[in-house]
Amino acid sequence: MPVLRYEGRSYALQANESVLDALLRNGVRAAYSCKAGSCGSCLMRATEGVVPARAQAGLKDSWKVRGYFLACVCRPESDLTVTTVGPDVQLGATITALDLLSHNVMRVRLRCDAPLDFRAGQYITIVREGGLARSYSIASLPDESDLELHVRKIAGGKMSGWLHEVAKVGDRVSILGPSGECFYVPGKGDQPMLLVGTGTGLAPLYGILRDALRHGHHGPIHLFHGALHKNGLYLVEELRRLAEMHRHVAYTPTVLNGSESDGMAVGPIDQVVLKRFPKLNGWRGYICGDPALVQSLKKKLFLSGMASRDIYSDAFLPSAQTP
C-alpha cells in the first residue's frame, strides 16, 4: 500500500482510501466540507510523488503544475508527500455589509483583499479559523465592488449561525475559490433560458440573470423562485422591477402553500414550471438550491427535451459529516 507523508510523519494508506480520509483517520485536523471534489476546502499540495488526475480535475493549470490537489478525491497509487496550502491560495476578505433580505436570509457583502476572477453564479468557500469551511454562491457581478452572498439561517448551523448572529461589519474571513460550472456562457444570445431555484438557490440565479442581461442576452428568460411560504421569498420588488424593465424577462414567485395573488404561482415548483413549459427543446436551464429538487428537476427538464449539455445546476449539498 502507498505511504502518505505529512508534516514529517508517515501514514499507510488503506485500500482505495483518500488522502483526506487517511489524515482524518489518523487524527489530523484537515479542512473539508463537501467531500465530493467540488468545494475546494480540502485543497492541499503535493511536494513529492504522483497526484492522480482525478484529484486535480477542474483546478487551474497553474495550480496543477505546482502540485495542488483535492485531498477528498485523491487516492494515490504510489507514495505521496503532501503539505497544507499556505495563504497564497486563500484570499482575505472583509465583511462590508450584513442586511436581512427576509426573516431568514442574510445578504453578506465581502470585499476581497485582491481582485477575484469569477463568474456570477460560481461559488466561493468561506473558511474560518479552525478549518470550518462552507460554500456560498455569488449573486454579484465581477464589476460590482463587493461580493454578494445570500445566506439562509440553518438551525444549529455553524457558519450560517455565525454570519447571522455573531459576525459584524469589518470582520475578516478567508475565502477559497471560485469554483463551479453553473454560470452564464455568452453566445447563443437568442436561446430561451429557464432559471429555477428554491430558497437561497436564488443567489446564483440572481447573478446569472443579471450577467446574461449584461451580455445582451435577448432570448426570453424565465425565472421561477420557489419557497414554502410567501415569507420565504426575497428580492421580490427588485426582481419585479427587473422584469418590468426588460420585456424578455419574466419572474414568477412560486409558493407551495398560499393563494394565487400578486402574480404568485402556487404548487410544487417543478410542476408549476413544467405546466408552463411542457416542451423545452432548444432551451437552456439553470437549477439551484435544494439537492433533491435539483436532481429531480434536471431529469424532468431533460425528459421534456432540454439537451443534457444545456442543463447547468448547483445543488446546495450540506457539508459532509465526519466519517
Partner 1 sequence: MQPTTEQSLFEQLGGEAAVNAAVDIFYRKVLSDDRIKHFFDDVDMDVQIAKQKAFLTMAFGGPSNYTGKDLRTGHAHLMERGLNDSHVDAVIELLGESLRELNVPEHLIAKVAAIAESARADVLSR
Ligand X SMILES: Cc1cc2nc3c(=O)[nH]c(=O)nc-3n(C[C@H](O)[C@H](O)[C@H](O)COP(=O)(O)OP(=O)(O)OC[C@H]3O[C@@H](n4cnc5c(N)ncnc54)[C@H](O)[C@@H]3O)c2cc1C
Q: Which residues bind ligand X (CB under 6 A)?
A: 34, 39, 123, 134-137, 149-152, 154, 156-161, 200, 203, 314, 316-319
The CB density around residue 61, as the number of other CB atoms within 10 Å, is 8
Contact 211, 119 (CB under 8 A): yes
* Cα-based torsion angle of the residue sequence 41, 44, 50, 53 in order, rounded to the nearest 10 degrees: 20
Identity of the residue, 2 or 157, whose beta carbon is nearer to ligand X in the bound complex: 157
Identity of the residue, 73 or 203, whose beta carbon is nearer to ligand X in the bound complex: 203
Identity of the residue, 152 or 222, whose beta carbon is nearer to ligand X in the bound complex: 152
- Max distance between CA atoms of the chain, in angstroms, equals 65
The grid coordinates of residue 322 equal 465526519
What is the smallest separation between the CB atom of 281 and ligand X, expressed in angstroms? 28
Q: Which DSSP string corresponds to 22-78?
A: HHHHTT-----SSSSSSS-TTEEEEEEE---GGGGTTS-HHHHHTTEEEGGG---SS
What is the smallest separation between the CB atom of 294 and ligand X, expressed in angstroms? 10
What is the smallest separation between the CB atom of 295 and partner 1, expressed in angstroms? 6
| DSSP-H helix ranges across the chain | 19-25, 61-65, 158-161, 202-214, 236-245, 269-276, 291-303
Question: What does 295 bind: partner 1, ligand X, none (CB cut-off 5 to 8 Å by kind)?
Answer: partner 1
The residue written with cell numbers 469589518 in the block is: 170
Identity of the residue, 26 or 295, whose beta carbon is nearer to partner 1 in the bound complex: 295
Is there a cis peptide before residue 76, judged by omega within 30 degrees of 0? no
What is the smallest separation between the CB atom of 285 and partner 1, expressed in angstroms? 12
Contact 194, 167 (CB under 8 A): no
Question: What does 95 bind: partner 1, ligand X, none (CB cut-off 5 to 8 Å by kind)?
Answer: none
What is the smallest separation between the CB atom of 311 and partner 1, expressed in angstroms? 8
What is the smallest separation between the CB atom of 189 and ligand X, expressed in angstroms? 27
Report residue 230: phi and psi, to 5°: -55, -35
What is the smallest separation between the CB atom of 164 and partner 1, expressed in angstroms? 30
Identify how many contiguous H helices and E strands the chain contains and give both numbers.
7, 17
Identity of the residue, 139 or 315, whose beta carbon is nearer to partner 1 in the bound complex: 315
**What's the one-letter identity of residue 214?**
R
Question: What does 156 bind: ligand X, partner 1, none (CB cut-off 5 to 8 Å by kind)?
Answer: ligand X
The grid coordinates of residue 111 equal 470585499
What is the smallest separation between the CB atom of 48 and ligand X, expressed in angstroms? 31
Identity of the residue, 162 or 302, whose beta carbon is nearer to partner 1 in the bound complex: 302
The residue written with cell numbers 409558493 in the block is: 255
Question: What does 134 bind: ligand X, partner 1, none (CB cut-off 5 to 8 Å by kind)?
Answer: ligand X
Residues that bind partner 1 (CB under 8 A): 295, 298-299, 302-303, 307-308, 311
Identity of the residue, 35 or 298, whose beta carbon is nearer to partner 1 in the bound complex: 298
Residue nearest to ligand X (CB): 157
Identity of the residue, 67 or 201, whose beta carbon is nearer to ligand X in the bound complex: 201
Question: What does 273 bind: ligand X, partner 1, none (CB cut-off 5 to 8 Å by kind)?
Answer: none
Compute the C-alpha angle 64/66/70, nearest 5°. Answer: 50
